[in-house]
Structure formats: structure tokens, C-alpha cells
Amino acid sequence: MTKDTESQPHKPTPEEEALLAVLDGADPFTEGGAPGAKRADLEALGLMAQAATPMIGFSRATRAAAKVALFNRLDLPMGQTSGVGSTPETVLPFLKPQSTPVRQSNLVPLALAAAVLLAVGLGAWSGFLMSELKQSRTLVAGLESELDERANQIEVGIGPNDFQQVLFENRRLRHQIGVATKPNTRVCALSAVAADQPMATGAVFLRPDEHVWVIATNNLAKCELGRRYRLWFLGEDGSVMGGELLEHVNGETEFEIASGELPDGASAVLVTLEFPDQFGEQPGGARVLYGERSVEIY
Amino acid sequence: MSRTSAKPEQTRHDIDLVKRIAQRDETALSELYDRFSGLLQALSRRILGDHEEAEDVVQDVYVQVWNQAGRYDASRASVSTWLSLIVRSRSIDRLRSRAVKDRTAKAAHEENPVTDASPTGEPNVLGDERRARLQAELQALPKEQREVLHLAFFEGMTQSEISESHGIPLGTVKTRTLLAMKKMRAALADEIHELL
């Protein structure tokens, strides 16, 4: 596995260079596309593209208008198309044909008169229905327009606000807790080693098969301005195997959780409090938490 | 963790739609539009940060699909990937052609994306559950890796451009990008398999 450290950039193999090239030339419409592009790599990129969020404000009505514009541009009829931009024909109730033949007698004029009355009645009823339908369509169009407007207002109003942040945090935490609670996860308890933070504790959940770790901390002191907590993985001989800044772990709240990339062969975990301007390849700040034994849970 | 599977029948149906479009069947174009336009709009707007420009891009792509559907090769990519990558490419072209590039809005999108379904509640090509999972996977990447992937994928920057603009050694950029892509590819293994 490639180590996840900035100081040791991995020299890409030809296959990996091809993977990187897919990013630059992933356009299936251009002749040839990216050199060496593999189907699986393209599909992965396609799926990542599809992870883009759905559009608030791009409602059915807006989409219908865009579709009409497209079909007009292509000079194609909309009548036979289906979906959001089409306007299906109104289907009127089907009248069953009369099964009993009408006798030719003096009742014929009466029957004709009745038929005329029926036709007039049906015509009036159809007119009423069409009028109602027209009103309903106007109402629906108005509501859709209002919905668009409201959605746009919400979108503008929300921006990068707390609500979205909460949703996002919720998903991040669910993902991390999901990692921590999978079968065969190992856990390494972290104990306080800093004299000024004796109540600090933590646990690192390790999934070597997925090269993922999740850390949960308790009672860490709030970072002073300009300081950040950083996690380090140490080898058996104490050498540093990698380290990552702990996003979302800054002592702002009692319980905090973060995750990252697990290097191969780590045997101990250390959390330090570092000055970002002085980040080096070795722990330089105060040592806060340490753990070296892991057990398999579940 | 439950996952929503793309139905292979739907994948085949998508291919059939493109074949019918190549034969000038406008109803197939209509159906393809209904199926993917929301997704493609979202993607284009994520790159461009502009609603109207995104609409223009998507319309241009559908015009291109109508005129050149015969060039689609099902052995190279699924229809959803084909369309998504064309839209990505056209959106990045447009992004590059702008005189002034305002990336602030897109950065905000990256950090705080709108995550709920459309107000119409219409089904998305990618189920909400799966999309949420993909977004979680993206968010689970270390920040440095997520950043280079964003710059490369949604802003179309080459590895060298990222290296120069952010003052990061080219080798480090490649390492981060590779790690991110490999993780995403591993996380999407099931979905990729369904599309192959």
C-alpha cells in the first residue's frame, strides 16, 4: 500500500499513471479518450460525478421548460414524447356501444331527440371538464412556479449554513461509527500521558484490511489558537510510520471523532498537540494520548 | 450497510435508448432526458456554480447526443458514465473559458453541499441512499486527498496545475490523488461491477 504521508511521495507505476490520466482525459466523446483508460476507472469517475447533489430549484416545471427548449432547438415534436415535458391528451370516458338494436318505429323521432339531448349534454359536460382541467393546469403551473421560487429562496437563504452542516456532520459520523462497529474491528485504548490533561481518554478503532482508522476522544482540552491535535502511528521500534492532523478533534466538545488512512505495520498510536507552522515528520508537540495494545471486538 | 443496486435491466434499457436515438427516435431522447437531466444539471452546476450555465451545458450535451449517438460505445462506458463524463468535460471547458474564475462558490459547494432530494421528490438516477454513502466516502477521505481529488475532478486541473497553484510537489499531488481514487474505486466496487 502507498503510505499516506506527504514526505514520501509514491512514484506511480505505469498503471497508476494511466489511472491519473483518466482524470485529465475522461471524455468518452473525444477520439480515443484517456490513454490506457480502463472501463472500471471510467465507471468509478462516472459514479463520483453522480454523487453530485441534486438540484434544489430544478423542479419538474423548470425541467419541463428546459426540455421544451431542447426539443425546439432540435426542431423535434413534443407531442409524441413522454415524461416531464409532454402534455398527454385528455382521455374522455369511453361510451359503450348500444348492444340492443333500436327498432325502426314511431319511436325514432323520440330516440333522435334523446340522442341530440345526450350529445348536447355530453358536449356541455366535456366543456365543463375541459374548463376544470384548464383551471387545474393553471393552478398546478402556479404552484410549481411558487415552489420553484420558494426552493430558490431556501437555496439562497441556506448557503453554507448550520442546517447543511448538521446534515453533513450526521453523515460523516454515521460513516465513522459504521466503520468502528463492523465485525473484526480492533480497538486500541488511549490513555492520558499529558500532566495537564489527566482526564483525557480515547480509543482508536482499526480496520487493517480497509486501511482505515477512526479515533474517538473524550475530555481533550480545547486547542489554543494556532494549535492542532495530530495523530501518529508508530512502528515496533518507535519509528514514526505516518501522521495526520485530526480534523474535527480540537477539544471544542467533550466527545469527538475523526478518521483517516491506516499505514501497514503500525503498533502504537500517539496523539500530540502541535503548532501547525512547525509540523514536521516527527512528533514535536506535547504528548497527550498514547496506546499500544489493540484487541479485536465483536 | 444496505446498498441500493442499479438494476442491470435499467442499464440495458439505457443502452437501448441511445441506440434508438441514433435511429432518430425522439421519444427515446425524451426518455433519456427525463432520466438523466436532473443528475447532469446537478453535476454541471457543481462544477460551474451557476444554474443557467449548467442548463446551457446540459442542453448542448443532449444536442450532441442527438446528433452523435451512434458514436456511443457500450463496451467503453455505461450510458450514465458516458453522459456524466461528457457533461463534466463540457462544464470544465466552459469553466476554463471564463475570463474571471470565481472558485469561492464551488469551494463552498464542496464543503457544504446541498444534500437533500429535489423538492418534487422525483426519483434520482442515483438513489439518495447510495449518493449519501458516496458523499460520506468522499468526506471520509483525508482533507488533503479530498482537496486534490476535487481540484482534479470538479475543476479539471491537471496534476501539474495543482502542484503549481498550491505549491505542493508534483509527486505528492500524484500520491494524494492516487490514494483518493483508489479508495473511491474500492468503495464503489459493487456499483462498478453492476455497470460492467
What number of other Cβ atoms are within 10 A of residue B37's Cβ?
Answer: 26
Nearest CA in chain B to A22: B153
pLDDT surpassing 70 at residue B109: no
Task: Please identify which residue in the block is written with the cell numbers 348492444.
Answer: A99
Residue A263 CA to residue A208 CA, distance in Å, equals 8
Whether A2 maps to a domain, the answer reads no
Calculate the dihedral angle through the C-alpha atoms of A243, A247, A253, A254, rounding to the nearest 10 degrees.
-30
Interface of A with B in 108-127 (CB under 8 A): none
| B93/A82: higher pLDDT | B93
Return the higher-pLDDT residue of B196 and B43: B43
**What is the band of B15 on the pLDDT scale with cuts at 50, 70, 90?**
very high
The shortest C-alpha distance from A244 to chain B (Å) reads 8
What is the mean predicted confidence (pLDDT) over A238-263?
84
What is the average per-residue pLDDT within B180-193?
A: 80
Task: Flag whether residue A275 sits within 8 Å of chain B, measured between CB atoms.
Answer: no
Which range, of A166-170, A177-181, B61-65, averages the lowest pLDDT? Answer: A166-170
State the Cα–Cα distance between residues B26 and A11, nearest whole angstrom. Answer: 49
| pLDDT on residue B29 | 93
- For the ranges A220-224, B76-80, B185-189, the lowest mean pLDDT is seen at B185-189
Binding-face residues of A in 228-257 toward B, CB within 8 A: 244-245, 247
Sequence-distant (6+) residues with CB within 8 A of B4 are B127, B129, B130
A6 and chain B in contact, CB less than 8 A = yes
> Does residue A141 form part of some domain?
yes
Query: By three-state DSSP, how is residue A100 classified?
Result: coil
Stated pTM of the model: 0.49
Instruction: Please report whether residue A124 resides in a domain.
Output: yes
Please state, rounded to an integer, the average pLDDT across all residues of chain A. 73
Flag whether pLDDT at A6 surpasses 60: no
- Quick check: A230 and A271 in contact, CB under 8 A? yes
Is pLDDT at A186 greater than 60 in this prediction? Answer: yes
Residues A252, A181 share a domain: yes
Full domain range(s) for residue A251: 169-296
Measured distance CA(B77)–CA(A20) in Å, rounded: 17
- Which value, in Å, is the radius of gyration of the alpha carbons in chain A? 34
Q: How many CA atoms lie within 13 A of A186 on its CB side?
A: 19
Q: Are A145 and A208 found together in one domain?
A: no
Radius of gyration of chain B (CA): 17
A146 and A175 in a single domain? The answer is no
pLDDT of B124 > 70? The answer is no
Q: Is A177 on the interface with B (CB under 8 A)?
A: no
- For B42-59, write each residue's pLDDT tens digit: 888 888 888 888 889 999
Do A175 and A198 belong to one domain?
yes
Same domain, A122 and A198: no
User: Domain residues of chain B, as ranges?
Assistant: 1-101
Q: Are residues A206 and A151 in the same domain?
A: no
Considering only the beta carbons, identify the residue of B89, B108, B136 that sits closest to A172. Answer: B136
Torsion angles phi and psi, residue B141, rounded to 5:
-65, 145
Residues A231 and A200 occupy one common structural domain: yes
Residue A9 lies in a domain: no
Other beta carbons less than 10 A from residue B16's beta carbon? 14
Amino acid identity of residue A167, one-letter, is: L
Give the helix/strand (H/E) hosting A255.
Answer: strand A255-261
Q: Are B9 and B135 in contact (CB under 8 A)?
A: no
What's the CA dihedral at A252, A254, A257, A262 to 10 degrees? 100
DSSP-assigned beta bridge partners for residue A243: A232
Cα-Cα end-to-end distance for chain A: 26
Contacts of A162 in chain B (CB under 8 A): none
User: pLDDT, tens digit, for every residue of A101-119?
Assistant: 444 556 777 788 888 888 8
- In-domain check, residue A39: yes
Residue corresponding to grid cell 486541473 = B157
Helix (H) / strand (E) containing B96: helix B79-97
pLDDT bin (cut points 50, 70, 90) of residue B101 is very low
CA A68/CA B37 separation, integer angstroms = 13
CB of B17 within 8 Å of any CB in chain A? Answer: no
Nearest to A50 among B59, B84, B144 (CB): B84
Cβ contacts of A33 on chain B, cutoff 8 Å: 76
Mean pLDDT in chain B?
A: 77
Residues 6+ apart with CB under 8 A from A178: B1
CA distances from A194 to A163, A200, A219 (A): 36, 9, 12
In tens, the pLDDT along A129-170 reads 777 666 666 667 766 766 776 666 665 555 555 666 777 777
A164 in any annotated domain: no
- Bigger pLDDT: A252 or A89? A252
Question: What are A253-262's pLDDT values in tens digits?
Answer: 888 888 888 8
Helix (H) or strand (E) holding B7: none
Chain B contact set for A51 (CB, 8 A): 126, 131, 134-135, 138
Axis-axis angle for helices B143-153, A14-25 (nearest 10): 50
Size of interface A-B (CB pairs under 8 A): 279
* Residue A205 one-letter amino acid: F
pLDDT higher at B191 or A9: B191
Nearest-Cα residue of chain A relative to residue B88: A49
**Which of A131, A158, A185 lies at the terminal end of a domain, its last residue?**
A158
State the nearest Cα–Cα gap between B126 and chain A, in angstroms: 7
Among A103, A133, A158, the domain-final residue is A158
A76 and A118 together in one domain: yes
- Tell me the C-alpha distance between B148 and B167, whole Å: 12
Q: Is the Cβ–Cβ distance between B47 and B61 less than 8 Å?
A: no
Backbone φ and ψ of A144, nearest 5° = -65, -40
Report in angstroms the alpha-carbon separations of A140 from A88, A117, A128, A133, A155.
Answer: 15, 34, 18, 10, 22
Whether residue B71 is predicted with pLDDT greater than 60 in this model: the reply is: yes
B110 pLDDT band (50/70/90 cuts)? very low
Domain match, A129 and A24 both: no
Which of A148-162, B133-147, B152-166 is predicted with the least confidence, judged by mean pLDDT? A148-162
Domain count for chain A: 3
Q: What is the CATH number of domain B1-101?
A: 1.10.1740.10
pLDDT of amino acid B178:
86
- Position A94 scores a pLDDT of 32
> B179 and A261 in contact by Cβ < 8 A?
yes
Same domain, A177 and A126: no
Query: Is B166 an interface residue toward A (CB < 8 Å)?
Result: no
Which of A93, A95, A90, A94 minimizes the C-alpha distance to A130?
A90
8 A C-beta contact, residue B140 and residue A176: yes
List, as ranges, residues 73-112 from B with C-beta within 8 Å of A.
Answer: 73, 75-78, 80-82, 84-89, 108, 111-112
Phi, psi dihedrals of residue A162, rounded to the nearest 5°: -65, -35
pLDDT at residue A279 in the model:
65
Distance from CA of B137 to the nearest CA of A (A): 8
Nearest CA in chain A to B172: A9
Closest Cα in chain A, distance from residue B93 (Å): 11
Q: pLDDT tens, A68-83?
A: 888 888 888 875 544 4
Whether residue A104 is contained in a domain is answered as no
Q: Does residue A274 belong to the interface with chain B, where contact is any CB pair within 8 Å?
A: no
A271 pLDDT band, cuts 50/70/90, is very high
Residues A154 and A266 in one domain: no
Pairwise CB contact (< 8 Å): A53 & B114? yes
Taking the Cβ of residue B148 and every Cβ of chain A, the question of whether any pair is shorter than 8 Å is answered with no
Together in a domain, A183 and A265: yes
Q: Is the pLDDT of residue B96 over 70?
A: yes
Give the mean pLDDT of B77-104: 77
Residue A185 is assigned to a structural domain of this protein: yes
% residues pLDDT > 70 (chain A): 63
Q: CA dihedral defined by B180, B185, B191, B196, rounded to 10 degrees?
A: 140
Residue window 57-86, chain A: list those with CB within 8 Å of chain B: 57-60, 63, 66-67, 69-71, 73-74, 76-78, 80-86
User: DSSP of A154-213, one letter per residue?
Assistant: HHHHHSS-HHHHHHHHHHHHHHHHHHHTSTT-EEEEEEE--TT-TT-EEEEEEETTTTEE
What's the burial of A95, exposed, middle or buried (CB within 10 Å: 0-12/13-18/19+)? exposed
Lookup: cell for A53: 447533489
The span from the CA of A62 to the CA of A152, in Å, is: 12
* pLDDT given for residue A168 in this prediction: 74
| CATH number of the CATH domain containing A187 | 2.60.40
